[in-house]
Amino acid sequence: MIPSRSRFVGIRGLRYHLREWGREGAPKLFMLHGWMDVSASFQFIVNALQADWHVIAPDWRGFGQTEWAGSDAYWYPDYLADLDAILRIVASDESVNLIGHSLGGNVACQYAGVRPSRVAKIVALDAFGLADSRPVDAPGRLEKWLLQLEADSTFRGYPDRDTLAARLQADNPRLTPDKAAFLVRHLGEPNGDDAIRMAGDPAHRRVNPISYRRAEALACWRRVTAPTLWVEPADPALRRRLGVSDEAHAEGKACFRNFQEVEVSDSGHNLHHDQPEIVARIIETFLLSNKP
């Protein structure tokens, strides 16, 4: 296993944790994790990379070892602003390669449309956006948020790490026991009396009061100039379950000027856990290609 190291930096008033692998001075890869995940989740892909890379992966605000925001909700634009600040600190004026899973992939794609000159290439792992929200649903969404603010947000506790590992494997039957055991060392944190809970701010569980507007995401994607690769599981079950139709998905992909797509068999949403060797090979083939 390739060892990682930690760095803590001040980002927009928060103590931010960056996990790094590889040699300082090597080409940089920024890996952006998804919701309810942490930077260490990319360990399996890092282990499978063949070229010389300096991999940098933040724990998003309120996840892992990064400080909690202390707010009533986590606002999506903050992820863009946090990424922008991280890049200013550790990548100066370089054009960067962004690899993101789920939430992290959506942040990468949207950021590349907001700051096109800042991004060299993008790899999005099962990051297809969300279904468009309906204005008629806004009052109910806001009411739900207000009701959640009245109650304490908590994560479910587990008696020990083995129980949490078993939960991860129940959620993803492809996850092997050794990978589950590794993940819980980073996804779990003490919860008193030797119990374990997920390492993150329970405020993430609250519904976001701001509705998702897919047209705004598409507008950002249309401004992306970087070559873009979407890596998706062959089975689109999750996307369809979340309400993103085949037609909406095709419209999203058509927004990118320089777009490729690769499907991975025998994988679910967590491609970086299920098929890390295949995904690493796909990533490196794309990044090392000289094709503009």
8-40 tens-digit pLDDT: 999 999 999 999 999 999 999 999 999 999 999
Delimit the domains of the chain by residue range: 5-133+213-288
pLDDT tens readout for residues 79-132? 999 999 999 999 998 999 999 999 999 999 999 999 999 999 999 999 999 999
Class of domain 5-133+213-288: alpha beta
CA distances from 203 to 66, 152, 223 (A): 14, 9, 32
Amino acid identity of residue 58, one-letter, is P
Rounded CA gap, 196 and 152, in Å? 18
pTM: 0.96
Cβ–Cβ < 8 Å for 31, 39: yes
Q: What angle do CA 12, 17, 23 make, to 5 degrees?
A: 120
Question: What are the respective helix, strand and coil percentages of the chain, to the nearest 5?
Answer: 40, 20, 40
Return the pLDDT at 106. 98
